[in-house]
Amino acid sequence: MSQYKPTVEEFLRDVKDHQLTIKLDQGVYRHLVCANKNGSWNQRFEIITAPHSLLIRGDMGAVAFSRIEDMFQFFSSDPAKINPYYWGEKIEGLDADGGRNAYKFNGDYFREKLMHRVYDSDTGSESPDEIMEQLDNCVDWQDEEAIVIRAVGDFESNERFSFTDVWEINATVPLGRFIWLCRAICWAIGEYERAREAAR
């Protein structure tokens, strides 16, 4: 789960023909437009900042963040260096068009975390592999989060191995669109910094 999708290479292909236009640049008040040079609106986005706020909006959705006075100092200027879990804690709002959540439950990731618990536990006469095989026969990992958690919570192996506090396991992963927006913020900050340097 360490490689976020889209990868930085995929993202950079998406924006290879984008250019930055600085509409406003007054301290922490900024308005940047990042769009394809041919005028296409495909994957076009804007970044607007004010004290303690950064809004990214456009073709890939909208997310508002709040943390420090100058939000450009909060984010990286390198699209390869994103931190979507921490940044996600600073979300103030998401667009309503399918973007209500920046994360989704991932059953395979949940299973992986349970497997670590099994291998770190005393499983008695059963091997960890046997327990995981029994668990796989009881749980459809592609089901909705509540159904998976209920099934794991109800599970008991042949030798009475069971899981406790399964609802506390965080098995969410960032949505691809949120990853794209995180990379876009970093890319735009990098382009902005290069434009400012070139203007000196």
- 64 located within any domain: yes
Number of domains in the chain: 2
> Is 2 a domain residue?
no
Same domain, 27 and 43: yes
Q: Which domain covers residue 93, as residue numbers?
A: 8-98+175-199
Residue 186 lies in a domain: yes
> Residue-wise pLDDT tens for the chain (200 aa)?
447 899 999 999 999 999 999 999 999 999 999 999 998 889 999 999 999 999 999 989 999 999 999 999 999 999 999 999 999 999 998 886 545 568 899 999 999 999 999 999 999 999 999 999 999 999 999 999 999 999 999 999 999 999 999 999 999 999 999 999 999 999 999 999 999 999 88
Are 34 and 62 within one domain?
yes
Domain for residue 169, yes or no?
yes
Same structural domain for residues 22 and 71?
A: yes
Q: Are residues 136 and 165 in the same domain?
A: yes
Distance CA 29, CA 171 (A): 37
Distance of CA 166 to CAs 20, 114, 122, 162, 171, Å?
46, 9, 17, 10, 10
158 lies in a domain?
yes
Which pLDDT tens digit goes with each residue over 89-140? 999 988 865 455 688 999 999 999 999 999 999 999 999 999 999 999 999 9
In a domain, 3, yes or no: no
**Do 117 and 78 fall within a single domain?**
no
Say if residue 23 is in the same domain as residue 118. no
Q: Is residue 25 domain-shared with residue 81, that is, in the same domain?
A: yes
Same domain, 140 and 150: yes
81 and 138 fall within a common domain = no
Are 55 and 132 part of one and the same domain? no
Name the strand (E) or helix (H) holding 131: helix 128-138
Mean pLDDT of all residues belonging to the chain = 93
Q: Cβ distance 187 to 6 under 8 Å?
A: no
Does residue 1 lie within any of the structural domains? no
| 113 and 160 together in one domain | yes
pLDDT at 1: 44
Question: How many Cα atoms within 13 Å fall on the side-chain side of residue 36?
Answer: 11
Q: What is the pLDDT of residues 124-137, one digit of tens each?
A: 999 999 999 999 99
Query: Both 108 and 155 in a single domain?
Result: yes
State the pLDDT at residue 96: 63
